[in-house]
């Protein structure tokens, strides 16, 4: 069995994450993790590792633990302070560092935290490197001799560097002076960056969720809770609302009517902008959950949707396989590979705003090309983890529903990888029929796997 095929003990699809104080999310573990990472990357003198974090209170504790472990392994540490996840990917590249570390639990509440990593190229670590790190976790800590200990540096201009990068992802001719924008920073890592980016490009900016206290990250705000943003856009008579998550890699927008514009619609708008400018690829990458209406809209413009498994890692893998440059998830994780190496909420928002300016269109008009299909998702709890393909009864039920939907719908069954739950999703043009068919299929699965 190769390293890649081995099951990982600590790393999930996006680093290591959990509740602070439990399992791997403890100071002791993170200290050892920092040392293990240092040993894997400190192959030569003057190894650079960048550390950034979001605004949750436990970030201070884990930053210190990582710094101590990396220094003990002989790696120099560059501390960025509160910075969006995509900013750390960008700065890791521009500093020519060997690795970048993000202390964040993304859109989770403050009592969770996590550690995720970028390679020197600003991309997620390979499976082999993650296995190397996990193997090093079994080795007792040995501190290098004092003359070889890593040094720590505070990067005081990190925010300014990233602000300039974000602005560079749109044409210098673009000016947002005719736009009024409400920006919700989720009391997270973009609080001191996102408003400045849009202001410096000329927009009138109303700021929300930019007063982090260590405990309020993602609390009733941001991309997972956009209701207050919707109300603010209407109250302020703004042209658009922008909702980011706690670490700045997800984006949801609100049009001037206060209506949500999700990741599928944003992905379509950005893909269409590429095509209109003559720089786009026919291959666009979504996920198994991407709305069928978005796929049909892409097909209308001779663009093909490739569906990856849910998760930005799988979207990235499929982009590389297909040669595409634009991919994303319904949740708002949008990847623009012609601009950067990972999902970036600010960069994605800028591409949408630029398309609004270039076409002299409102966001509502750009998203109206898509007719989204109703989706019904039902979680069926079963007695144990199951193989869905093993049941002829379930497969017959799926085939029957697919035939009733025809070309105007689809069925998706997914067994959870972490709990005994089967996720049943039915999508169709008619909401009543979609709900009915989803309930029928859920009942079949329940009868088969709960008996």
Note the pLDDT of residue 413. 92
Inter-residue contact 360 to 239 (CB < 8 Å): no
Inter-residue contact 108 to 223 (CB < 8 Å): no
Fold of the domain spanning 16-156:
Alpha-D-Glucose-1,6-Bisphosphate; Chain A, domain 3 (3.40.120)
Inter-residue contact 347 to 166 (CB < 8 Å): yes
Say whether pLDDT at 5 is over 60.
no
Say whether pLDDT at 53 is over 70.
yes
Note the pLDDT of residue 71. 97
State the average pLDDT for the chain. Answer: 94
Q: Which two tokens stand for residue 309?
A: 């498994």
DSSP 366-428: HHTT--PPPEEEEEEE-SS---GGG-HHHHHHHHHHHHHHGGGEEEEEEE-SSSSEEEEEEEE
Identify the CATH number of the domain defined by range 162-170+178-367.
3.40.120.10
Whole-number Å distance between alpha carbons of 435 and 375: 8
pLDDT tens digits along 293-343: 999 999 999 999 999 998 888 999 999 999 999 999 999 999 999 999 999
Listed by start position, the domains of the chain span 16-156, 162-170+178-367, 375-449
Say whether pLDDT at 229 is over 80.
yes
Specify the pairing of strand 76-82 against strand 16-19.
unpaired
pLDDT tens digits along 372-415: 999 999 999 887 666 788 888 999 999 999 999 988 899 999 88
Say whether pLDDT at 438 is over 70.
yes
- Architecture of the domain spanning 375-449: 2-Layer Sandwich (3.30)
Which of 173-177, 275-279, 321-325 is predicted least confidently?
275-279
Inter-residue contact 97 to 37 (CB < 8 Å): no
Helix, strand, or coil here: 224?
Answer: coil
Q: Which two tokens stand for residue 408?
A: 């105007």
Among 24, 71, 104, 106, the one annotated catalytic:
106
Span 281-303, average pLDDT: 93
For residue 88, name the pLDDT band (cuts at 50, 70, 90). Answer: very high
Helix, strand, or coil here: 128?
Answer: helix
Say whether pLDDT at 266 is over 80.
yes
Note the pLDDT of residue 451. 58
Are the folds of 16-156 and 162-170+178-367 the same?
Answer: yes
Note the pLDDT of residue 1. 42
Contacts of 222 (CB under 8 A, 6+ apart): 107, 184, 185, 186, 187, 188, 209, 243, 244, 245, 246
Q: Please indicate whether residue 451 is annotated as part of the active site.
A: no
Note the pLDDT of residue 14. 82
CB atoms within 10 A of CB 76: 21
Inter-residue contact 341 to 89 (CB < 8 Å): yes
Give percent above pLDDT 70 in the chain: 96
């Amino acid at each position: 069995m190769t390293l890649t095929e081995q099951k990982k003990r600590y790393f999930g699809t996006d680093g290591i994450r959990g509740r602070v104080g439990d399992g791997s999310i403890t100071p002791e573990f993170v200290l050892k993790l920092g040392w293990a990472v240092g040993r894997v990357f400190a192959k030569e003198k003057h190894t650079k590792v960048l550390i950034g974090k979001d605004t949750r209170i436990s970030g201070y504790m884990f930053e210190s633990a990582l710094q101590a472990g990396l220094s003990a392994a002989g790696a120099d540490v560059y501390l960025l302070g509160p910075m969006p996840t995509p900013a750390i990917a960008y700065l890791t590249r521009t500093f020519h560092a060997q690795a970048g570390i993000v202390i964040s639990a993304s859109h989770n509440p403050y009592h969770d935290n996590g550690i995720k990593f970028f390679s020197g190229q600003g991309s997620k670590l390979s499976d082999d490197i993650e296995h190397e790190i996990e193997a090093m976790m079994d080795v007792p800590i040995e501190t290098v001799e004092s003359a070889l200990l890593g040094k720590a540096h505070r990067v005081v201009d990190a925010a300014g560097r990233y602000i300039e990068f974000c602005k560079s992802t749109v044409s210098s001719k673009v000016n947002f002076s005719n736009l009024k924008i409400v920006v919700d920073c989720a009391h997270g890592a973009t609080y001191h960056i996102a408003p400045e980016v849009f202001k410096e490009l000329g927009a009138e900016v109303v700021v929300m969720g930019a007063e982090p206290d260590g405990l309020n990250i993602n609390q009733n705000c941001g991309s997972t809770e956009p209701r207050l943003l919707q109300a603010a856009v209407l109250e302020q008579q703004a042209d658009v609302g922008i909702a980011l998550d706690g670490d700045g890699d997800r984006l949801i927008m609100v049009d001037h009517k206060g209506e949500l514009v999700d990741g599928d619609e944003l992905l379509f708008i950005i893909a269409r902008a590429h095509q209109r400018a003559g720089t786009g690829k026919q291959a666009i990458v979504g996920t198994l959950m991407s709305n069928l209406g978005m796929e049909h809209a892409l097909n209308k413009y001779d663009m093909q949707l490739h569906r990856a498994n849910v998760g930005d890692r799988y979207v990235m893998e499929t982009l590389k396989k297909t040669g595409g440059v634009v991919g994303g998830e319904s949740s708002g994780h949008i990847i623009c590979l012609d601009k950067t190496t990972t999902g970036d909420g600010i960069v994605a928002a800028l591409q949408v705003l630029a398309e609004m300016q270039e076409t002299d269109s409102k966001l509502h008009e750009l998203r109206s090309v898509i007719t989204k299909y109703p989706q019904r998702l039902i979680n069926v709890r079963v007695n144990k983890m199951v193989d869905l393909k093993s049941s002829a009864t379930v497969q017959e039920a799926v085939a029957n529903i697919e035939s009733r939907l025809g070309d105007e719908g689809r069925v998706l069954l997914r067994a959870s990888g972490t709990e005994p739950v089967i996720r049943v999703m039915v999508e169709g043009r008619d909401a009543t029929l979609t709900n009915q068919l989803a309930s029928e299929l859920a009942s079949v699965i329940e009868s088969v796997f709960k008996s």
